[in-house]
Chains A and B, each alone.
Chain A
């Protein structure tokens, strides 16, 4: 099992969801985060105060999948999130020790496999 973390542009979040759905990856969490990944700062001015905004709005997807699904998930994230400009985001894959589905008590592989019925 792996936890796939994808940090993407907020305006591409819907495209990512769509790509994940088409790849039959179910079970997603997303949250709004602020981050900085090498893109240029944008400059904003409020009256006499000029600031460089070092952090950009991003959306962070967390997807727990069985090993077979890792490549599919990565492909879907890239497919949905890529614009080709700096700031498209990153994907991190980390090993996952345990997973439990609270409703049934299923663990590990059973817990990250979508409910079929």
Chain B
């Protein structure tokens, strides 16, 4: 325990934590707009479920595994069930460990929600709940320990400001594995499967950007130079990504698209996530512009493959996170961050450690997620039946509709003695 709790730092971190929590419902809205109307609620609920499950697993064991001690691969269990997590400052910060825990919890939550984008419109909700709970510990907490909690990457000097490894590459490459194990939607590649509400997508992206000021701006853990730099870079970078995305859209289709713009906001925010507190505002602008290129290319190419990584988590998060992590290795600047120089400012080793993180993070995320889903799949079916998928996940998984009209709805009261819920469109027994 070093120093004392600082009121200013703590005030900002409380606000930042709330901002990051808001990103998960915002992501739910963003994802819900991108799917067909019959799957709106199920898609949104995958994000809400991430709040429920990842918070519990984080409090029980995830936080401890990520942030207790300096083991190379994994933390300890001293903080399990929040043991010893109280008002004393977290080492290396001037905020109570309880606030530090809460801030990090919101990161775990949104990362779990991000992965759901790969499996929407066909994964059984029950199987998803099991997956979300286990993934938050087995994949997220491990990667968070490597990058933030004193694990081998951080110990060797990998710079990852707000989660290029655990959050962005962790979700992106897990999403790829999840899409491969769960398999494509039954109509994928046969029918046009279009977003049903572009306004949700834009509003969700806008709210995500707003929340990202807490995500990146809070990752300095207080009012300090890194935090301020990351905050302003979070404004600068996505704007530059938007400009380049507009240009790419114009070149390709001669029209600037709204869903493209929403995607560009996410890509820009992701790219600056690992780099936020480490690169100058000028380089942050360059990062935003350049990061658009690989993500755009993958978003155009991926739907031509047989991989139904439905909402392009790999392109938006995995790819831009990968790019951002490497960018730090080149353009990190001691004069701005007080931590390290990249290769452009004379330290080649920094790029080496960034490159190692950019290989190890995705490799672990992909392999662990692939194995985890195979295991869950051996115990319970991962996918809804074809008929359920056709009718829509809202009705079949939740018994609700996003846009219920009420026409033809007959009120059921228990006094009237009406039968309990029955499956959809099952024939009467003969």
Residues of chain A at the chain B interface (Cβ within 8 Å): 9, 11-12, 14, 34, 36, 39-46, 49-56, 83, 85-87
Contact = CB atoms under 8 A, between A and B. Distances in A.
Contact of A44 (B187, B190, B400, B407): B400
B141 to A, nearest CB: 35
B256 to A, nearest CB: 29
Contact of B387 (A40, A51, A53, A85): A85
Interface residues of B, number: 29
B2 interface: no
Interface string B380-410: 0000000100110001000111001011111
Nearest to B411: A51
- Which of A45, A50, A87 is the most central at the interface, judged by chain B CB atoms within 10 Å of its CB? A50
B390 A44 contact: no
Nearest to B427: A86
A46 B412 CA distance: 12
B305 interface: no
A43 B399 contact: yes
A45 B399 contact: yes
Contact of B412 (A9, A36, A50): A50
Contacts of B422: 40-43
A43 B421 contact: yes
A11 B404 contact: no
A52 B410 contact: yes
B423 to A, nearest CB: 8
Given A52-B412, A52-B418, A83-B387, A40 B407 contact: no
Given A14-B191, A45-B400, A83-B387, A54 B410 contact: yes
Contacts of B424: 40, 42
Contacts of B427: 39-40, 85-86
Interface of B: 187, 190-191, 387, 390-391, 395, 399-401, 404, 406-413, 418, 420-428
A36 B425 CA distance: 11
A41 B391 CA distance: 13
A40 B409 CA distance: 13
Contacts of A44: 395, 399-401, 404, 409
B411 A49 contact: yes
B425 A53 contact: no
Given A11-B390, A86-B425, A54 B409 contact: yes
A85 B425 CA distance: 7
Contact of B400 (A39, A46, A52): A46
Contacts of A36: 408
17 contacts: A11-B390, A11-B391, A40-B423, A41-B410, A41-B422, A42-B424, A42-B425, A43-B421, A44-B395, A44-B409, A45-B400, A51-B412, A52-B418, A53-B408, A53-B410, A54-B410, A85-B427
- Which of A9, A12, A51 is the most central at the interface, judged by chain B CB atoms within 10 Å of its CB? A51
Contacts of B420: 43
Nearest to B394: A44
A39 B421 contact: no
B405 to A, nearest CB: 8
- Which of A9, A44, A85, A86 is the most central at the interface, judged by chain B CB atoms within 10 Å of its CB? A44
Contacts of B426: 40, 85-86
Nearest to A9: B390
Nearest to A54: B408
Given A14-B191, A40-B423, 13 more contacts: A12-B390, A14-B187, A36-B408, A39-B425, A40-B428, A43-B399, A43-B412, A43-B420, A45-B421, A53-B410, A85-B425, A85-B426, A86-B427
B428 A53 contact: no
Contacts of B395: 42, 44
B425 A87 contact: yes
A24 B290 CA distance: 49
A106 to B, nearest CB: 33
A4 to B, nearest CB: 23
Contact of B410 (A40, A51, A83): A51
Contacts of A40: 422-428
Nearest to A36: B408
Nearest to B428: A40
Question: 3 nearest interchain CB pairs?
Answer: A55-B408, A11-B390, A51-B409
A43 B424 CA distance: 8
Contacts of B399: 42-45
B36 to A, nearest CB: 10
A80 B402 CA distance: 28
B261 to A, nearest CB: 29
Nearest to B405: A34
Contacts of B425: 39-40, 42, 56, 85-87
Nearest to A43: B421
Contacts of A49: 411
- Which of A36, A42, A55 is the most central at the interface, judged by chain B CB atoms within 10 Å of its CB? A42
A75 to B, nearest CB: 21
Contacts of A52: 409-410, 412, 418
Contacts of B404: 44, 46
